[in-house]
Structures are given as C-alpha cells and as structure tokens.
Structure 1
C-alpha cells in the first residue's frame, strides 16, 4: 500500500452515488493503491467523521487471497501503539453477493508521507532523529509480538504534525499487507521474496528466514535516505537486490560520526552484526537528545537546550548525591503505604542513568537510563501512570516489564524546580497491576513537592554557608 494520507491524492474518486460499505462508510477519493487493494478517504456516516478505508481488490477471491486479507485485518486489529496507524473497524461488505469486499477502517492521518516530505526538501538531523526514534519504538512493539513488517520504506511512513506547523513530526508506520506474523524470534519459513526492492534486507533479497534484524536494515536505509535524499540501492529489482548483496550502502562523510556509526551498524550485511531493536531504541533516543542540544534556530541566542538546562539544575542541587541523613526515606515510606505497593523511590534522572536517592523496598541504588520509566515521567508536569504495564503500549517491550524484574504498575510525580526543570520523580512501583485514584495521585504530587522543598532548603543552606564564609575576614 502506498499511503493513508490526505496529502497526496490520486485523481480517481469513488463513483458518484456509490453504495456505502455495510451502510456506513461512503467512499470518496482514492488516496493510495497497493498490490492487494486501494485506500480511500471515506465518510463514517454513523459517527460523522472522515476515515481511511482499505478495500481489498475484488479479484482477490481465492482461498489463499482471502486468508491473506483476513490475516492483515486480524494483525492490524491486534496492534495499538502511537507509532502505528490505528485500526477502527473491519469487516466484509456483502452488498453485492457476487462480489464480497473485505475492508478495514483506519484513522485518517492528515500529513505527508516521508517519501513526499523528502521530495519537497531536506530534513534536519533533529527531525531525522525524532522520526527514527518513533519508528524504532513502533518496530520494537510489533517485534515483541512476533511480527516483522517486511516493507519499511518512506511511502509507508506517515508524518503527523499535531502542533500545526511544528518542526517536530511524529512518524507512524502503516501498511501491514505483507507483514509476517509469528516469525520475529525464529524467522520466516516462507522463502518467497516480498517487500519493495530498494529497501529489502540482504536476507530478504536471498529469500532467507527473516527476523527483527530485517526491519532494522530497512529502517537504516530509510534514515540514510533522510540524510541524502537519494535511494541507496537504485535500479530495477534484480540490480538493486544484487547491489546490496555485494556492497554496503555509501554513508557520506558529512554526516555526524555517531550517525555514521549507527547507520553502518543498522545496514550491516550480516544480520548478526546489526543492533538489536532493544539497543536501537535507546541509541536513537540519545541521538534525539544530542541533536536537540546541537539545534539552534538561526539568529537565536545561544541558550542551552532544555536537556542541557535540566542537567545544569541537577548539578546545581548537587544531585544525584543522596542526603546522608536519609531525609527522603520517610517520604518514600509514606508513598509506599498510601499506594499499598512494595517499592517507592526518589529518583534523579542523570544523562546516562537514573539514581535512587531514596529507595524503599529495593536494594539497588541506580539503573541505566534507557529502560527506566522515570526518563519518560520527567517529560510531563503531571503524574505519569502505567496501571498495567503488560498491556500498555508505552511499556510492553520495556526490559523492566518483559524481563525478570516483572514491573506491572508505575506512577511517578515529577520533582519540579522553581524555575521549571524536572529533576526526577517520586515514584511507586508494584509487581501487580492496579488502578491509581485521583486522591492517591494528588498525594503523590504533594509528597514530591515536599521532596523539592527539602532540596530547596538544602540549596539555600549551602548558599548561605558560602556567603558567610566569603564575608568572614581571614586572620592575618
């Protein structure tokens, strides 16, 4: 499938007066066409909203074709993640008994796909980092469910601008028409080559077994194209496939060294040499942070990036140094009792790890930053809550959830300074899912404010001591 977007409409439209699918969805203009069907803008006349409807080709009536159509419907229906296009409805229209039509209804994403975006002009490294991070999170989510997309390419990546004019584009992966279900851990037993020639992984080109590494290779080619605006392996399908079997893609020297290293690893010909999806997500998150720090608007003052300013605040409070008197331990104990949970923490989010300056019910005093949920919680000014991490798309593949730790519930209130920086969180954790009430979250916020009050008092005390020592004359 090409795209599900209103930015690139083809001239065809549905016939005037065309019947509604199941009496509900009236097809309008065609906005994309692929190998198995077409996507239309449509009107959901029951709810009064515009949607995108994929209608499978009427010629696809063999038992195998129908099974493939049902597989795609069932697959997309089972996925729910902010980096994937959302399925709203699915079914079979039998208005014409001789020509039943399988269809499904998706959110109508307004915005260009990445292919169109690159045709219009270059992207900044900061934009590329955000796009790569969004897509890596989406792939991590589907790979965790045993799904390999097999057709990651610019035309299947939609860019959403929620802020209407913002430089930050949110990327959504679409078209699971040739996705492989149940093969991410063990590989594909079907040796038929599928996908778009220019973005095939070497193992796809050879018709070999596929796993998560195949999508990582394709994403690497997409991100490289974001920098160069040139397809790495052009030509007809055979020429393009042979080229990637013999050579690695050319990565220009003008690209930043950290990007060159990551792109080279993602596009390694041997799947075993590529980063795992669990390593790729934090690597791209770090590039988002790095590019945000490097980003300066033309003519703007050289102010620090938000992350740089936040880290300066961490240093100002002499964090992550923990109070030797255990001042926060009583607060974490209260938080654990309020929520009836086994673990409560006062955390400080450093540049590479999360420090526990008070830890009730947990013996370790720090973890790497990338798996820690507190790194996400500090992005909001309100408590960040995951009531059942096993089914929450934000945390499903997180190693604290999927691994031996067994985290299932998390609630974190940010530790916010007077000048607006979130240093870390007061958070509570549980190994069982649970619901957080508004009263509990309000109490958590109040306790977080107490932690910050204590930090402010200690900061002022240190400043007073410095001022006093500076004012005291030294003995002659």
Structure 2
C-alpha cells in the first residue's frame, strides 16, 4: 500500500504527503510527494528515492493504457527522452509499466527533479534580463536542435515545458526542455488521439492555417517563448519594443525577431540562433573588459572564439577525459584532479575527481586555471598563504585544497582554454618531474579536444 506520510529526514529529503496512489512497482523504492505539474493525461509528482537518498520527479499517466495506440505513444515518449543525452533536456532515470491489471497496463517515468519550477512561473515575477534570455535561448536552441537531429519534433514548446533551476535573480538560468508527450517523428502525422500540439498560443502561423508542424515551426515557438521572457509579451507584431542593455540587448532582440519571421523559409536556424545568443554575451563581456583595460580585449575575444570552436562547454561526462583525471590522481597521488575550462563568466569542470561543484564564478576561480598565467605547468605549495588563491571556493571550503599544480590546456594556435590541475589537502611542493607529467597529461586533453573537433567536422562535411 502506498505510504502518504512525509519522508523522514530534514531539508531536501522531506516531502509533504499526497493522496495519489503510487504504482506497486515503485512503492518499495519511492515515496510520492505533492503534484508539481502535468496535463490532461498525466501528472508529475516530486518523490523521494529511498535507495539513493535524492529527490526525483515521477510522471504518472492518469489514464491507464487501455488501447495499444495509447501505450505505444507513452512508450515513445519514454524512449525519446532516454535517447536524448543533452544537458538541457530532462534526464530519464527509469521507466516501467504497472501490470497489476494486465488488461490495463499503466506507464510511469522517473526523471531528474529540477528545483525552481517552470519558466511560466518564473515569468510571473517579471521579465528576464537580456543576458538571461541569451543564455536561455542558447541552451534551449541547442536542446531543440538535438531533438530535431534525433528525428523528432517536440510539438509543445511553451514556457510551461521549460524547467528552470533555482538561481539568483541575476545569475545564468539553467533550463531543461521537458514534457515530450506530444512528440512525434519529423514528418509524421498525428495519430487519431493526438492533436497537433497541446498549446495553440505558441503555434507558428502556418500551423494555425492548417499546415503540419516542421522544425521551422518549432523555431517560431521557441522564439515566442524567448520574446515573452525578454519583453513580457509573446507577440511578434509588437513594435518599438524597449529592451534595456545596449548593444547586447539589441542583438538578442534581433535574433528573436529572426526566429519569429512569418515566412518559415526566412526564419533563422536553431544553430545560428544558439551561436548568436552566445556571441551577444561574449561580445558584451569583451566590451566591458575593453572599457576597463583595452589591451587584453582582442586576445580574450580570440580566446573565446577558439573555445567556442571546440564546443566543449556543458557537454556530458566522457570516458576519455574522465580517464585522464583518474590517472592524474593516481599518478601524482592526489585526492583532487580536474579539467577546468574558462568560459566568459565562469570556470566549468569538464571532468573532476574529489570535487562536488561543476562550475565556479570566473573572478574567484581564475587564479587556479593558468589562463592568464604562465605557458608552462606551475604550482602553489600552500594555497592558504597565497592571496591569489586563499579565497578560492575549493580552498576556503570543501575539499579544503592546500596545494595544487596546474598545467595550461593550449590550442595549436596558442589560446589557453583552461587547465588540468592536481590538488592535495596538505601543503606540498610538487617536483619538476611531477609538473612535467601533468603537462604531458594536459597535452593529451588538448589532443582529445582536437580529435573531437576533427570528427565533428568530418561528420558535417559528408
């Protein structure tokens, strides 16, 4: 029998009770909490995973699959989400079918829980800054492009289907494209029990006139979502829109306008939109640095362009890079090792061992990445005694690093993308031989990035 009492524990592990019955197949592992979303045919609940001690989201289809077509549609949604390994798409953790009544099987999906709610709820508090819209647009455009590359259409791109992790008001938002209940293969016609889309307010003009959805129509839908986030209204006909933020804000608005052109053939592509959003933020950062110190601006712009060339930021873990950090930790006998990539406003860890956080603000983390430092590996014997590193989050907080060695990751044309570093929790002087070894591993990381770039170019040149 499903338990409705709150989960014992504190903080993130405590859930309010719910009257909803959980399928027997889930009841031993999960405790179901309150409803946090859903639609006409399903409900989404927050739940506690007893085995792993974490929060998850469970999607329960309200109507048991009484027809073969309905069950196939629900299974198609599960397989689609499982096939999309993308940082801006909700992650499917498990799926199954409740078969207590063999004549009426019921599907359930167990997904990652994204705290903070959906974009619709976020926008109730007001418009986003243009920088937030730019990053939102970049991540969602890449996610939707990945869906299309997999041969599918989402069919319901709306603010309600974009989950946003809770962040500070001025921080970069981290969206997740969710709810693939209306998804179909590109070019496929809806089945007899399927409408073209769940939300007509975000349909492209050609769909309202009776045309079938295409990848271009989903560019429109995403553009309308971003227009609403930027201006407060999902109305592409509005003129004399005032957006604050100078050149960057204007650039973002122009991209959104290009996504919501009435003629589908005239709309920009998702890849161009994603690149444009990223360029707008990067160029603004360069302008700010140029105002403070004109000298390094040109070289920083070139470095950021080189970084974008490798398309490594926010990519999932990869065995080749994880193997490097694992071998570095073992070879140098350190508890902490990481591949750090320096973005516009943050330092992001492509691979990490002994570190819980995935990224850090750039100003406080830059001292440990060697982007502005030497061309050769270097080290700090006691980070607490060095003013440049004493306030670093990994020094001031867990895992309380005391010494580290860093080797810059440098492209063939001389741009420093970041660094490979090894760190210890005690003061330590790294030897010349150890620094040389770390430098060799950093070269392997760069070679791995070059191989990924060459493979991607070969794929698109076919």
| TM superposition score normalised by structure 1 | 0.60
Deviation at 1:373, TM superposition (A): 3.9
2:410 maps to 426
Q: CA deviation at 1:206?
A: 3.2
Aligned equivalent of 1:282, options 264, 275, 286: 275
Select the structure of larger CA radius of gyration: 1
| 2:84 alignment counterpart | 79
Cα displacement (A) at 1:143: 1.8
- Do the aligned partners of 2:22 and 2:32 also contact (CA within 8 Å) in 1? no
**113-122 or 285-294, which deviates more:** 285-294
Structure 1 residue 437: Cα displacement:
13
Change (3 A) 1:440 1:170: farther
Cα separation, 2, equivalents of 1:177 and 1:426: 44
2:17·2:34 contact (CA, 8 Å) conserved in 1?
yes
Q: Is the 8 A contact 1:41 1:51 kept in 2?
A: yes
1:313 Cα deviation from its structure 2 partner: 2.1
SS at match of 1:120: coil
Aligned position for 1:213: 216
Give 1:99 deviation, angstroms: 4.0
1:391 paired residue number:
none
CA contact (8 A) 1:135 1:172 kept: yes
Superposed counterparts of 1:319-334, under 5 Å: none
- Whole-Å separation in 2 of the counterparts to 1:175 and 1:95: 26
Change (3 A) 1:147 1:311: farther
1:110 is aligned, of 115, 140, 164, to 115
Q: Which residue of 2 aligns with 1:236?
A: none
Question: In the TM superposition, what are the counterparts of 1:87-166 in structure 2 within 5 Å?
Answer: 87-97=92-102, 99-161=104-166
| 1:174 has 2:178 as partner | yes
SS at match of 1:150: coil
Matches for 1:21-40 after TM superposition, within 5 Å: 21=26, 23-40=28-45
Task: List runs of 5+ in structure 2 lacking aligned partners.
Answer: 1-11, 244-248, 315-340, 352-367, 375-387, 389-407, 414-419, 423-435, 446-462
CA distance in 1, matches of 2:115, 2:271: 30
Q: How far apart are 1:310 and its partner, in Å?
A: 8.9
User: Whole-Å Cα distance in 1 between the matches of residues 54 and 81 of structure 2?
Assistant: 21
In the alignment, does 2:217 pair up with 1:265? no
C-alpha change, 1:19 and 1:145, in structure 2 (3 Å) is closer
Match of 2:241 in 1: 253
Provide the rounded CA distance (Å) in 2 between the counterparts of 1:440 and 1:176. Answer: 47
Residue 425 of structure 1 and its aligned partner are, at CA, apart by 5.0
Residue 447 of structure 1, CA deviation: 10
Residues in 1 aligned to 2:54 and 2:349: alpha-carbon distance in whole angstroms = 32
In 1, Cα distance between equivalents of 2:74 and 2:256:
34
- TM-score norm. by structure 2 comes to 0.61
For structure 1, the 5+ residue unaligned runs are 1-6, 233-247, 295-303, 320-347, 355-368, 386-412, 430-435, 449-476
Question: Are the structure 2 counterparts of residues 197 and 285 from structure 1 closer, same or farther at C-alpha, using a change threshold of 3 Å?
Answer: same
RMSD: 4.0
Give the whole-Å Cα distance in 2 for the aligned partners of 1:155 and 1:135.
Answer: 13
Note if 1:196 corresponds to 2:182.
no
